[in-house]
Amino acid sequence: MPQKYKNQVHKNENVSTNYQQYFSFSAIFKDNYTKKVNFNPKRKASNITLLISAFVIVSLILWNTNSFFKKFKEEERLKMEIWATAQLELIQSSVDQELGNLTLKVMGNNTSTPMILVNEAGTIKTHNIPEEKAQDSIYLQKKIAQYRNENQPIQIVQDGELLETLYYGNSEVLNKLKYYPLALLLIIFLFGTVIFFFFKTNKASEQNKLWAGMAKETAHQIGTPLTSLLGWNELLKSENINEDITKEIGKDISRLHTITERFSKIGSTPKLEVHDIVSETEKAYEYLKRRSSKLIQFSFNSNISELPVLLNPPLYNWSIENLVKNGIDAMKGRGNISIEIEQKGQNVNVLVTDTGHGIPKSDFQNIFNPGVTSKKRGWGLGLSLVKRIVEEYHKGKIKVLSSSKEGTIMQISLKASP
């Protein structure tokens, strides 16, 4: 081999070695950074401290509320005992003396506590209970049982003789206070849920930044061997090598350039320009058609010859390729794949149809989530990436139009350019 070729080969081997070292370093960096994100001891300690502090605060609030409830209940018990004493004064005054102003005031001021008085003969009197309910004996018996459980009945006794028994329930304020801890716990639960999702979203955001940074760095590093390959291909052309060989090498180099461009756009807002969606779709489709098994029948149909749409070609083509590859995988390498483009009003629909095993209806939405896949060795990122490209970058829609055991139709909808 001529010396200039040896030098070039040696140079290319160095590039390849450096490239392998980069991926080894990148893998180590990714693992370390992921560990830093997931298992940072300081962050873990601060989270535990925050949780313990929140638990202590909640416990103190609940304890204080419970103490306040008991104190309020004791005060209400005292008021009812005073009211029972006033009732005794009322009974006595009807026999041998006039009723005092203080007794009337005590009995008239209690307008919030529901009461039922039962005398020795079984006669029932009610206070602070709606009149229509006070006429219902069954209702009153149920209330007596309820009040007996809520508060110990007060016996009104004179000279050792039981005159009346006072059954009373909790006042409206006390009932509200009783449910206050539950409302507080619900608020704290909702607040904790918000904090949990905040930390979860923040963690996912950090991991997304990591992957976006890795993708951009990968695109940058691919540029070095790509430039070298371009030089080698030009060198082969000058040596009168079979033109078909150099032409195919050129196509693969162009493919590498496209992949580099795709990775460089991850994590940043891509620039959209007006392009013919028919030709761009057919371009991605034809690339896969030439490199797929002969057992797969391809077809392309469009009811329009040309339609301008705001597109980022590298990312849009990536979406089409992912959908076609998914269809091929679903058919296990044998079947029919077709793409149809149709215009409906201001929308243009791209339909990718396969004759695979189909998707369960319950998974129509789930398949677009990261990590969801039916493949044994799949990562479950293809369709989630397509969804992001179509809906976030191109402001369109993607969905499973229909699916059965006979096949699946995926639909991309985009706005036609005015």
CATH, residue 357: 3.30.565.10
323 CB neighbour count, 10 Å cutoff: 27
Residues 209 and 157 in one domain: no
Last residue of a domain, one of 116, 147, 170: 170
Question: Would you say how long the chain is, in residues?
Answer: 418
Residues 289 and 397 in one domain: yes
Residues 284 and 207 in one domain: no
pLDDT recorded at residue 44: 60
52 within some domain: no
pLDDT recorded at residue 372: 61
List the one residue out of 187, 199, 181, 207 whose CA is nearest residue 50: 199
Q: pLDDT tens-digit profile of 170-196?
A: 887 777 777 777 777 787 788 778 877
List the one residue out of 27, 10, 16 whose CA is nearest residue 226: 16
Residues 300 and 345 in one domain: yes
Which residues of the chain, if any, have pLDDT below 70?
1-44, 47, 93-104, 106, 202-221, 223-224, 262-268, 370-381
191 within some domain: yes
**What Å distances lie between residue 185 and 55, 112, 213, CA to CA?**
11, 27, 42
123 within some domain: yes
pLDDT recorded at residue 9: 40
Residues 69 and 157 in one domain: yes
269 within some domain: no
Residues 378 and 406 in one domain: yes
Residues 243 and 117 in one domain: no
Residues 283 and 401 in one domain: yes
25 within some domain: yes
Residues 292 and 393 in one domain: yes
pLDDT recorded at residue 13: 44
Q: pLDDT tens-digit profile of 126-146?
A: 888 888 888 888 888 998 898
48 within some domain: no
122 within some domain: yes
pLDDT recorded at residue 126: 87
Tokens of 227: 């430039």
Residues 323 and 391 in one domain: yes
Q: What span, in angstroms and rounded, lies between the C-alpha atoms of 393 and 166? A: 73
**What Å distances lie between residue 403 and 326, 355, 358, 390, CA to CA?**
14, 10, 5, 20
List the one residue out of 375, 408, 403, 368 whose CA is nearest residue 389: 368
Last residue of a domain, one of 170, 202, 219: 170
Tokens of 33: 């950074």
Last residue of a domain, one of 170, 192, 212: 170
In which domain, by residue range, is 97 found? 60-170
Angle 53-54-59 from CA coordinates, rounded to 5°: 100
Looking at the 3D structure of the chain, how many domains does it have? 3
Label residues 5-25 b or e (16+ Cβ within 10 Å = b).
eeebeeeeeeeeeeeeebeee
265 within some domain: no
Residues 241 and 335 in one domain: no
Query: Is the overall model pTM greater than 0.85, yes or no?
Result: no
Residues 297 and 411 in one domain: yes
